[in-house]
Structure 1
Amino acid sequence: VPLNARQTGADLAMRLGLPIVLVVGMRLGCLNHALLTRRQIEASGLSCAGWVANCILPDMPHLDHNIRALEQRLACPLLGVVPFLRELTPAGVAGLLSFDALIESAA
């Protein structure tokens, strides 16, 4: 994600020494996009602490199949599935995520 004309979120993560949490917008093409993004995270010298399945459509065909496919291929833990919600709150979304894997990766 660009932060300015020269720097990205990856630059910020490297400078702060933080791992990446990959958020996957669950829709057609998400498998390829997520796998390419994961590859770029590694190529940048960063680690992936985990990933979140973000359901951006009210009814995605084969959602469970896609989530299972990503679990098998991403080589980092699934932190949670955020269902399609018309109204989001930070607390509501946080309640859907498991932070155990993040704590383990930080230790």
Structure 2
Amino acid sequence: MTNKTRENKSVKITFRISQADFAPYEKLISESNLKTSEVMREVFLAKSDKAVLPKKQSVDSKRLVFLANKASNNLNQIAHKFNLAHNKGKVTERTYTSLLNSIINIENVFIEASKKC
């Protein structure tokens, strides 16, 4: 036994994986004559430094997404009501085009801001 296996293992890690994800390790466990925990510990420790973890979304980024969601919902409601008014002839073509262009500009600002997140 190496010094590593004699070391007191006081940290317990528990997680679940699908049967499909476990299948390659199942054969390895049965052929190794080791306990499942021993094999999984070695696999975990061997690959832990090679893991590619997803980048955590920043608080600013989450807030931007929240505000963009709220603003886009409001803009959609405004555009819908304005379109109805235009179709009924209550709004001039010039005013309609101006508002539509403003909404498109706001959309472009949101798209550019989201690319920076």
> Structures share a fold, TM > 0.5?
no
TM-score (norm 2): 0.22
Larger Rg: 1 or 2?
2
> Which structure: greater helix fraction?
2
TM-score (norm 1): 0.23
Higher relative contact order (CA 8 A, sep 6+): 1
